[in-house]
Chain A
Amino acid sequence: MDHIQMQMLRDIQKLEFTAIELTLYLDTHPDEQAPLNDYNKTAEKLDSLKMLYEKTYGPLMAYGFSSSPCPWRWIEGPWPWEITL
């Protein structure tokens, strides 16, 4: 795993965590516009960042969420628990 891949994974983690926090907040405050705007903006950025990552480093999700060249890239290591950097 190279330095750039690590950096991109870290950036995805940052945005995804913001999205998780806003999800839980919205679950108990479903009628509030400001957190909803932030959620939607975060989701959009996260989506394009993940697409950029997957183009170079392979799918973050299988189950039909992104396509794969041959050979099937989903099973490429390292898996999340094996990352050593």
Chain B
Amino acid sequence: MPKNSTTPSQNYPNPQAPQTPNKPPTPKNPATLSYYPLATLAQAYVPVQTYDKTFSPEEALEKGTLFPELYRPYPY
């Protein structure tokens, strides 16, 4: 379960409370390792993602994905 997720019991009037920084976890099964040994010619395949570490809800929203291995920031 993503850490630092918000619960309804959170103290709303104090949004300035210090937060623990989140380091993006390194996926132990990079998606690039999965491939199709029986792939057929003239067909497209995408490696299937494996469920691993996820960003916290806050970091996920900020980055646009819950999944570190799918995060492809644009440098501009």
Contact = CB atoms under 8 A, between A and B. Distances in A.
Interface of A: 3-4, 7-8, 11, 13-15, 17-18, 21-22, 25, 28-29, 32, 34-35, 37-38, 41-42, 45, 48-49, 51-52
Interface of B: 1-2, 5-8, 10, 12-13, 15, 48-49, 51, 54, 57-58, 60-61, 65-67
Contacts of B51: 25, 29, 32, 34-35
- Give the dominant DSSP class at A's interface: helix
Contacts, number: 63
B5 A7 contact: no
- Give the dominant DSSP class at B's interface: loop
Contact of A17 (B1, B48, B61, B67): B61
